[in-house]
Amino acid sequence: MKIIKFALIMAAVSLPWFWNNRLQAEEQLHHLRSVQSYNYFLDTAVDDAAATLHANPTDIDAQMGYESPKHITINKDAALRAFMETLFINISIVDDRISQDMLASYIPAIAIVGYDGLDIWTEEAYVDREGISHLKHVWLPKIPFTHTDQKGNVYAFTLDDYVTVYQPELKQWIKGYQRELMQHSTLPLLRDQTLFESVRRTTIVNKVQEELAYRVNRNNNNSKRIGTAYKFTFPTISGEEWANSINDVGVLACVQDLPMGAYKFNNYAIGGARLVRNHLFYGTIRDGVKIALPESCKPLVVEEVLANSRAAAKRGYFVKRCL
């Protein structure tokens, strides 16, 4: 009898512990699945934004004449719209403006790495006519990839070897490709191709890191308006990913401390425009019907260029494949 009583007591004591462990395991599993879903949402949004960067029929035709394939005219507003719309659709807040504004407050910065500079979408404070302070997401003026050497010469780099140099001693400007300037320039940085490439890449990576870190850390102060008290931190990005992010025009977005049940979601995503160029669709009208075709069977008459099949369908085109 004593053994039975002892067993019942042990069961009564152990049951809550086992039940609590089970709940914690289920919560961890739910959290893991949620994180995977949100990572997918963020990656998809950035890819859609990158695909839309150059989705402009006039620009694409004109870009064929550029010596550098990285020198493309970007449409940052269209990219931002594609990014936010994809997030809203995946998180199911398309018709919820309040939730949309709340979500935007957890995005400290969206950066577009352009050919000759960095565009950043972030929150800025302003004062209205009545003297009331407000916060609003805006595009900052383009931030050039500049470097100053020991003699005060200022270099404005690009994603390839095209560079603009200002020499204050001579009060003159130099513009051109490093491979051409090296033949007649006396500047050590222009004469050494290996050194030039190293300084160029370091300058661009540092500029992107510094600007994003500043915006992410600054978001800690802005977060007070939504009642949060945690500290925003810049996500850790590997050196390889930084290097890849400056190989071509692209988009980088950070999400910081987005509430997700008992946890916070922190991550970033990088998307390159070049990676998705082959997925462009070209809209045309045949027999009164709007159809979209891929690059391999591009129609002679193009009504508009669409970032992907999803964008084509959204614009009312029937997506067709090449025969």
Q: Which residues contact 260 (CB under 8 A, 6 or more apart)?
A: 31, 34, 35, 38
DSSP-H helix ranges across the chain: 2-52, 57-63, 76-91, 97-105, 178-181, 188-191, 193-222, 239-245, 309-314
For residue range 299-310, list pLDDT tens digits in order. Answer: 877 777 776 677
In this prediction, residues 233-240 reach a mean pLDDT of 57
- Residue 63 class from Cβ within 10 Å (0-12 exposed, 13-18 middle, 19+ buried)? middle
Q: Say how far apart CA 17 and CA 25 lie, in whole Å.
A: 12
CA distances from 159 to 12, 260, 309, 321 (A): 67, 37, 29, 34
DSSP letter at 127 equals: E
The domains of the chain are located at: 62-274
36 vs 62 pLDDT, higher one: 36
For residue range 80-109, list pLDDT tens digits in order. Answer: 999 999 999 988 898 899 999 888 888 889
- Is 80 exceeded by the pLDDT of residue 295? no
Residue 258: φ, ψ to 5°: -70, 120
Q: Say how far apart CA 261 and CA 16 lie, in whole Å.
A: 23
Q: Say how far apart CA 280 and CA 269 lie, in whole Å.
A: 21
DSSP symbols for 135-182:
EEEEEPPPEEEEEE-TT--EEEE-SSSEEEEEETTTTEEEEEEHHHHT
- Is 60 exceeded by the pLDDT of residue 18? no
**Which SS3 state, helix, strand or coil, does residue 101 take?**
helix
- Residue 19 class from Cβ within 10 Å (0-12 exposed, 13-18 middle, 19+ buried)? exposed
In this prediction, residues 195-214 reach a mean pLDDT of 90
Please answer whether residues 46 and 269 qualify as being in contact, where contact means their C-beta atoms are separated by less than 8 angstroms.
yes
For residue range 246-284, list pLDDT tens digits in order. Answer: 677 888 888 887 777 667 777 777 776 543 444 677 788
Q: Which of the four pLDDT bands, split at 50, 70 and 90, describes residue 21?
A: low
Please answer whether residues 46 and 273 qualify as being in contact, where contact means their C-beta atoms are separated by less than 8 angstroms.
no
